[in-house]
Copies of this chain bind each other. A is one copy, B any other.
Amino acid sequence: MGPLPRTVELFYDVLSPYSWLGFEILCRYKNVWNIQLQLRPSLIAGIMKDSGSLTAMRFLTAVNMEHPEMLEKASRELWMRVWSRDEDITDPQSILAAAEKAGMSTQQARGLLEKTSAPQVKNKLKETTEAACKYGAFGLPVTVAHVDGQTHMLFGSDRMELLAHLLGEKWMGPVPPGVGAKL
């Protein structure tokens, strides 16, 4: 008799394509690894409800309204925190740290952070989110190409070749020649 099976729970929603990948792999491995696989259907909407990016996205909204030239850098520094260095992005101090790394002065960053509680900023973030929903978004990222008076909505980050086709341009992989990509 082998060792007792270990329990592995898989929480998933059929709306999540990566949940499907995890599901198929675990279904294949459950006997190979002798695990007791507990399938746990859950609601992604409930999980994302308080997912913690509200202040960060309000901050970026304020950046976009007041200093749009800083939006790219400020967004990247927040991603660097949460998805590269596994650091917090919910605390105001975390957002200020990202803003300063993006090249803002402490004073400028604090001013924008204060604006996250202004109705104009809150409403602007709501409007942008609603605009995405109107285009048919059911997740992010969503890219909307406006070509020849037509609108094309693309979900995810793996349809860039299709975007290139819609634009009549050439897809040359994630790092096009001549672009110095550090990431």
Q: Mark A1-20, 1 if CB is under 8 A from B, else 0.
A: 00000111111111111111
Query: In the complex the two chains form, what is the Cα distance from A75 to B12 in whole Å?
Result: 10
The residue in chain B whose Cβ has the minimal distance to the Cβ of A7 is: B146
Query: In the complex the two chains form, what is the Cα distance from A160 to B22 in whole Å?
Result: 8
**A44 to B48, Cβ gap below 8 A?**
yes
Q: Mark A55-74, 1 if CB is under 8 A from B, else 0.
A: 01100110010000001100
Min CB gap A164→B, angstroms: 7
Please tell me which one of the listed residues B13, B15, B75 contacts residue A41 in the complex, with CB atoms under 8 A apart. B75
**B156 to A22, Cβ gap below 8 A?**
yes
Measured as residues with beta carbon below 8 angstroms from the partner, the interface class of chain A is 35 or more
**B42 to A57, Cβ gap below 8 A?**
yes
Chain B residues with Cβ below 8 Å from A23 are: 75-76, 79, 141
**B8 to A143, Cβ gap below 8 A?**
yes
**Which residues in A have some Cβ–Cβ distance to B below 8 Å?**
6-29, 32-33, 35, 39-54, 56-57, 60-61, 64, 71-72, 75-76, 78-79, 82-83, 89, 125-126, 128-133, 135, 137-147, 156-158, 160, 163-164, 167, 169, 172, 174-176, 178-179, 181, 183
16 examples of A-B residue contacts, CB within 8 angstroms: A6-B167, A10-B142, A11-B135, A12-B141, A25-B160, A25-B174, A32-B172, A33-B169, A41-B61, A42-B140, A43-B54, A43-B57, A45-B51, A45-B54, A46-B126, A51-B139
With A41-B75, A43-B125 given, is the CB distance from A15 to B51 under 8 Å? yes
